[in-house]
Amino acid sequence: MSRFNSHFRMNIEDAVLYAKEKLDIFDENANLEAEEIGDGNINYVFKVWDIDTKKSVIIKHADVVIRSSGNPLDIDRNRIEAEVLMLQSDLAPGLVPKVYKYDPIMCTLSMEDISDHINLRKELLKRKTFPKLADHITTFIVNTLLPTTDLVMNSANKKDNVKKFINKELCKISEDLVFTEPYIDYKGRNIILEENIDFVKKELYEDKELILEVGKLKNNFMNNAQALIHGDLHSGSIFVNQGSTKILDPEFAFYGPIGYDLGNVIGNLFFAWANNIVTNHNDDVEKFTSWISNTIKDIISLFKQKFITLYKESVTDVMAKEEYYMNWYLDTILSDTAGTAGLEIIRRVVGDSKVADITDIKDIDERIHAERILILAAKLFITNRDSIKSGDQYVNIFNTTVHHYIKEACNE
């Protein structure tokens, strides 16, 4: 009797046995090895490979509790991730790993090994640039999101999809960590530099107008079932090389605002930009800053172009075919995008889910400067979101924030 007929938490040895028994990938007598490569807080990720042929597979395994905290978490998230990845593969071929098998008993997702790609966040910290990133990421966002709206889908089928992809526990994580705790630390989980406690108190905890705007964005996140979004599209979920981009880990997927995905991508690029500004003390700072600012501009511009093109080709709703409706619809996405970019920046600086772009800054004064610049710019993205329609505006807001901050710091 197979040991994989009922769920248990797998280890490295189990992953090897599972690959031999359950996956039609390796030869019967293959000499397999495995390692655990996951660096996330929720699941376990194993790489299994044939020592002789180098053929390999990735097995992502969900346990009944969260890896980092031990708190219970619905394992249906694994089913959601598998089905979303397969749908994304159909809608945006080549931009996600291939799925080989989903096992609802062991809650495993077996998929293509993309070891020839590297985590985007880590590469940006090395000041590496990727000329195709903006093109690839906007194709992924437009092609996977617009077709899942009720502008394109039959409205009844779309409502069935909303039900199918309800992801209440992982949504609750976002509702707390992104929309609530950075502004009202009601669980006491925020992690703030001692030198920035007063700054955070003034700029976030005591800014009631900001908290109101964040509350509006939270309401939109919880109630705007617009498209089947990735739900956690940060630079750690994007893997790249010079010719290719792969998007991973849609375990937070659900029906939410399109701008939430686009805004997460934009927001994460500012971490690398801020790191570059405060830590780079040579001529390379200008080269990388130029690339990343142009990438932000290109992402917004290309998203708008591709969205309008696909919208005109694929929308079936009679009212939505009107151009004035399309323009209004796109404006709401761009507003959500700017708001989400600000939210993502603030939650990574203040909350307990940090990013290496900031935590790897060794000089405490440089880190203080980076965090304050990011918070001030993020606030402007949130409060001015209805008027931010272009990448140039993001870049101008950030550059102005940097200039004003440095000027004030010099006068102190």
Structure confidence at residue 412 as a pLDDT band (50, 70, 90): low
Which of 38, 46, 74, 44 shows the shortest CA–CA distance to 173? 74
Q: Are 183 and 200 in contact (CB under 8 A)?
A: no
In angstroms, the CA 3 to CA 160 distance is 35
Local confidence band at 283 (pLDDT 50, 70, 90 cut-offs): low
Half-sphere exposure of 345 (CA within 13 A, CB side): 32
pLDDT bin (cut points 50, 70, 90) of residue 274 is very high
Nearest to 237 by CA among 197, 270, 208, 265: 265
Q: What pLDDT does residue 84 have?
A: 98
- Range 233-247 average pLDDT: 97
Cβ neighbourhood burial of 198 (10 Å; 0-12, 13-18, 19+): exposed
pLDDT(281) > 70: no
E-assigned strand segments in 90-165: 99-103, 108-111, 118-119
Question: CB within 8 A of 196, min separation 6: which ones?
Answer: 368, 371, 372
Report how far residue 206's alpha carbon sits from residue 218's, in angstroms, rounded to the nearest whole number: 18
Average of pLDDT values for 278-290?
82
* Identity at 142, one-letter amino acid code: V
Q: In this predicted structure, what is the pLDDT of residue 284?
A: 73
* pLDDT-derived band at 408, boundaries 50, 70, 90: confident
Give residue 1's pLDDT.
67
Mean per-residue pLDDT of the chain: 96
Strand ranges for 107-147 from DSSP E: 108-111, 118-119
Given a cut of 90, is residue 40 above it in pLDDT? no
pLDDT digit string (tens) for 97-110? 999 999 999 999 99
Instruction: Count the neighbouring beta carbons within 10 Å of the beta carbon of residue 202.
Output: 10
Q: The tokens 């949504």 sit on which residue?
A: 171
DSSP 59: E
What integer is the mean pLDDT of 147-162? Answer: 98
What count of residues does the chain have?
412
Q: Which domains does the chain have, with CATH numbers?
A: 3-111 (3.30.200.20), 118-411 (3.90.1200.10)
Q: Cα(353)–Cα(174) distance, rounded to whole angstroms?
A: 11
Is the pLDDT at 66 greater than 90? The verdict is no
Residue given tokens 């031999």 in the structure block? 20
- Measure the CA–CA gap between 342 and 394, rounded to whole angstroms: 10
Confidence class of residue 282 from pLDDT cuts 50, 70 and 90? Answer: low
Cα 358–362–365 angle (5° rounding)? 85
pLDDT reported for residue 410 = 75
Q: What is the mean pLDDT of residues 374-395?
A: 98
Q: pLDDT at position 407, please?
A: 86
Lowest mean pLDDT among 5-19, 67-81, 179-193, 309-323: 67-81
What pLDDT, on a 0 to 100 scale, did the predictor assign at position 200? 98
The sign of the dihedral angle between the CA atoms of 102, 108, 109, 111 is negative
Helix axes 133-145, 76-91, angle to 10 degrees: 110
Using CB atoms within 10 Å of the CB of residue 204, give its burial: 0 to 12 exposed, 13 to 18 middle, 19+ buried: buried
Residue 292: pLDDT band by 50, 70, 90 thresholds? very high
pLDDT of 285 reads 81
Select from 394, 389, 378 the least CA-distant residue to 217.
378
Question: Mean pLDDT across the stretch 75-103?
Answer: 96
DSSP run (H or E) holding 244 = none
Percent of the chain with pLDDT strictly greater than 70 = 99
Which bin fits 153, alpha (ψ -120 to 50), beta or left (φ > 0)? beta
**Strand (E) or helix (H) holding 56:** strand 56-61
Contact 183, 215 (CB under 8 A): no
Spatial CB neighbours of 138, under 8 Å, sequence gap ≥ 6: 299, 302, 303, 306
Q: What are phi and psi of 165, to 5 degrees?
A: -110, 25
What are the tens digits of pLDDT across the range 115-142? 999 999 999 999 999 999 999 999 999 9
* Neighbour-count burial of 275, counting CB atoms closer than 10 A to its CB (0-12 exposed, 13-18 middle, 19+ buried): buried
**pLDDT level of residue 286 (50, 70, 90 thresholds):** confident
